[in-house]
Structure 1
Amino acid sequence: MNAIVKSPADLHPYARVVGQESPRRSPQDAIPCVIGRDLQLNPDVLGRYCFKEISARVEDLIIIAGVIAFADRAVARKLSISWLRHIDVTIPVLEPDFWRQPHITDELRNLLNLLTGDAWSLHFSIKSARLEVHGPRPLSLSSNEQPIVMPYSDGMDSFAMSRLLANENPDVPLLMVTAGSRLDADKERRENRLDGRRVRLAVPFQISQQRGVRLREPSYRTRALIYGVMGAVAAQLSGASRIMVSESGQGALGPWLVPVGNEALDIRMHPAYTSQLAHFLNMVLGIQIAYEHPRLWSTKGQTLRELADRGLAEDWHETRSCARDARHMSYLGTRLQCGVCAACLLRRMSIHSAGLDESLDDYMWKHLDAGGLDDAVIDPTRVATKGDRGHAVCGALAMAQLAELADPSQSAYVHAKAQELARIGGESVDLTQVRLAGLIRQHADEWNEFVERQGDSSYLAQFSGGMR
């Protein structure tokens, strides 16, 4: 029922990944994922979630998310053929009979196919040993209010959303699920001003690159599954029912509105994905949680402007938005953001739109008024690679193409997209279309004004001729 059937002529990547409790010999044609070696769990970190005892079902869910994330990273795409991969995964679980139920397996497989754009096949083996969770050490929340959970990337959107939530709901605890390794821009305010009402909970595992297994696939869309699952675990253990998605409209809807090349639609922050994720997790955990998108109809610039107007924007420059590997963006001992990928351009445009001090940010390609990357770089020894130029071109195109949807000639396309969103959100098509068109128009205004500020000779200008 759940096996992948491939014809001999099918050239799409295929891989079999087998989750194992020990480094015993795995099938010859399989990539092993050994728990404790390839998937390294941190009992101390997991113990921080222990508002109450972690059940076998929750433990299974964490292992499932980790093994799937490993498989997603380990199996490289062949973009010259297509985006699609066939991935066959076996996962050790404590409750195999539950996970083998067709409606459970099918729901998870459909969720993964939607998220990553691949064809997944799922199998479940018997896991013999439970995780040794240190604790439990129940978190002390200085409020009797029901907590809110939020996946927290340490980027600008999550930084802004957490401060707006604290301002609007001063007595409500916020549990922030984080990677645990990034700069903590909000530490001072959280620890000294919020009296324990903001708690960071790190993802309790990491994927290792030991044994020479190269994690070659950079798309890594299952990162959204990890944060979604751990958010639901935090909610289930703390009694929360609301999980906030902090992404502003461009980040949540932009990749869905203007997809890149032959990529499958990127809906990691889209209500289409979060609603299906909530349905799956509610079914598995026996709870009622909902993922909410409070900034869906706002641009990042509008969110930052609201933050500044409320006097809450201090330390915004300590956040990071860049999609590039920070290890490759260093100058004079300082790690920079690249400044030209789609995430950086959206950040820079939004900072400008919100009236924040742009000089507080440093970028490798800082001078956007230059005619090309070679003149925009601050490191005189840095020669732009093919990858650098690709990120810059794709970033500018992503911003420009989303802005172009404000043109009246695109109204039929926008209406069709509004219909899709309305079905998901349960709102009228007319209301959704007004909101979607307003978001696109606001983005276009912010982008065109930002490009004009760089001058007609800037390399950005060539990507925005249609709307200026």
Structure 2
Amino acid sequence: MRYHTIVCRLGSGDTAKVVPLRSDTLVTDVSFVDGDRRLSYGLGDTLDHLAKLGIAPSEKAVDLVLLAAAVTAADTRISRATESQDLWTREIDVHVPVLDVELWTSFAPLIGRTLNFLTGDHWRVVFRPRPDGFEGLVPCPTMLRRVNSDCVCLFSGGLDSFIGAIDLLQDGKRPMLVSHYWDGITSSRQTHCADALGRHFLRRPFDHLRARIGFPNGLVAGSRGEDTLRARSFLFFAVAAMTADAIGGDMVVHVPENGLISLNVPIEPSRLGALSTRTTHPWYMARVCELLSGLGLTVRLHNGYRFKTKGMMAKECGAKDLLAAEAMHTMSCSSPGKARYAKNKADRTPKHCGYCVPCLIRRAAIIEAFGADATPYQVASLTGQVLNTAKAEGNHVRGFQVAFARMKRKPGRVRFDIHRPGPLVDHPDDLADYERVYLEGMREVERLLEGVRAWPT
């Protein structure tokens, strides 16, 4: 393994001496400013989009996004396979220039704990002053203000975020949709879903901020890219918070995510660490809210679906006709790009695999709501064959089946299982609701898998 240090630089003139926390670390300098003194890697484009809407965030909010981008650079370009001590856990330090060093340094321990929980790595963050001439990174608005949004909604292109946007618009809200993408698959789904919303809600126009922020391969010498992307929600939340800050006032950032996925109780012990994401876990979201409040940003994250299963979200959607027509165009799969490995060329178009955990929960939800699912899947039928548990196509199915059997054998374990992914200490009065949504969500998937056979072949 190797220790890594990512040093965020603001242009070629940023030559301040940065002393690594370890002498045996590999230091990677990443310049976040292009030749025009403009933020690069998509950050400048995002700020320009806000300027064209006639709004501008605070420098503090930009520092948050700069931190999140530096974390993303490390998370996506430092390989777990070659750089970790156990094929998973990496040791990463990040140095970021900010406007108020004292304020940010006071929150460095909180940020480290939050990132450790989110990604399963060991993070340390260090802050230093911005170099001279970079006291202002926010471009002035280029148009008169034309935004009348009263909230922000994360819009990933997935089924949950599509339902969340529908419900807000149906309820008369004026959300600013915020998307983050890097690959073309995600981008096309976000665009399609936003266009569908625009056609359906013609009299309720909304704005859509699409942030393409990412980093090229080879950024870190000797390390290939990393596709687990556990820190992606930190960047997503940061961009949404910056957008809310630019709009102004006390703002809510809606995080539409069903309770089963939000809790993400591992279906088997081996999934607790490496294979269990925590992108919207209640403890993690509470820590991000703590950071936002401490920084003085009047923004809070809110998941209004934390006690609903994905099936409940679909069945109770405010515009079921729209959802029924467009659900197949949303993207929930954990890695739709794996279709490129299909033997038949005709099957290599990126699509839902149909057998990963998010796909199984999605299939169950759509069938709960509509009785049938028109989404094209790599594995179209779960019952037409014996799924091989030695391969991905059957592994997660069998994992669920084992979990169902364990729950029936020891039903009292559920009240303890909901705490396995992370603490719920911020919500002591909600434990019964979390237990209920976990049970109901698992029952949805159990109904989907009735008659499905999976074993080693």
Query: TM-score, normalised to structure 2's length?
Result: 0.80
CA contact 1:13–1:84 (8 Å) conserved in 2: no
For residue 365 of structure 1, what is the aligned residue in structure 2? 379
CA contact 1:404–1:444 (8 Å) conserved in 2: no
Q: CA deviation at 1:347?
A: 1.5
CA contact 2:3–2:26 (8 Å) conserved in 1: no
For residue 292 of structure 1, what is the aligned residue in structure 2? 302
- Residue 35 of structure 1: which of 25, 32, 36 is its match? 32
Residues 69-93 of structure 1: CA distance to partner in whole angstroms, max 9, x if unpaired? 1111222225782632211121233
For residue 414 of structure 1, what is the aligned residue in structure 2? 415
- Residue 236 of structure 2: which of 222, 227, 230 is its match? 227
Q: CA deviation at 1:205?
A: 2.8
**Higher RCO (CA-CA < 8 Å; seq separation 6+):** 2
Q: Cα 1:188–1:81, aligned 2, differ >3 Å: closer, same or farther?
A: closer
Q: Is 1:303 aligned with 2:313?
A: yes
Q: CA RMSD in A?
A: 3.4
Q: Cα 1:13–1:353, aligned 2, differ >3 Å: closer, same or farther?
A: farther
For residue 47 of structure 1, what is the aligned residue in structure 2? 48
Q: Is 1:182 aligned with 2:188?
A: yes
SS at 2:332's partner residue?
Answer: coil
Q: CA deviation at 1:252?
A: 0.6
Structure-1 separation of matches of 2:318 and 2:240: 28
Residues 311-364 of structure 1: CA distance to partner in whole angstroms, max 9, x if unpaired? 341311111111114274475374322221112122222222222542x21122
- Residue 202 of structure 1: which of 201, 210, 219 is its match? 210
CA contact 2:77–2:219 (8 Å) conserved in 1: no
- Residue 442 of structure 1: which of 440, 448, 456 is its match? 440
Q: Is 1:16 aligned with 2:23?
A: no
Identity %: 19
Q: Cα 1:404–1:82, aligned 2, differ >3 Å: closer, same or farther?
A: farther
| Matched ranges for 1:4-153 at <5 A | 13-22=2-11, 29-36=26-33, 40-50=41-51, 52-78=55-81, 81=86, 83-100=88-105, 103-128=106-131, 129=134, 130-131=136-137, 133=139, 135-137=141-143, 140-141=146-147, 147-153=150-156
SS at 1:242's partner residue?
Answer: strand
Q: CA deviation at 1:408?
A: 5.8
For residue 191 of structure 1, what is the aligned residue in structure 2? 198
Structure-2 separation of matches of 1:447 and 1:70: 35
- Residue 165 of structure 1: which of 151, 168, 174 is its match? 168
> Which amino acid counterpart does residue 225 of structure 2 have in structure 1?
R
> Which amino acid counterpart does residue 15 of structure 1 have in structure 2?
H
Which 5+ residue runs of structure 2 have no aligned equivalent? 182-186
Q: CA deviation at 1:309?
A: 7.5
For residue 426 of structure 2, what is the aligned residue in structure 1? 424
Structure-2 separation of matches of 1:245 and 1:33: 30
Query: TM-score, normalised to structure 1's length?
Result: 0.79
Structure-1 separation of matches of 2:63 and 2:310: 36
CA contact 1:301–1:350 (8 Å) conserved in 2: yes
Which 5+ residue runs of structure 1 have no aligned equivalent? 1-11, 375-387, 464-468
Structure-1 separation of matches of 2:319 and 2:243: 32
For residue 8 of structure 1, what is the aligned residue in structure 2? none
| Matched ranges for 1:231-246 at <5 A | 231-238=240-247, 239-246=249-256
Q: Cα 1:397–1:153, aligned 2, differ >3 Å: closer, same or farther?
A: farther
**Between Structure 1 and Structure 2, how many residues are aligned?**
421
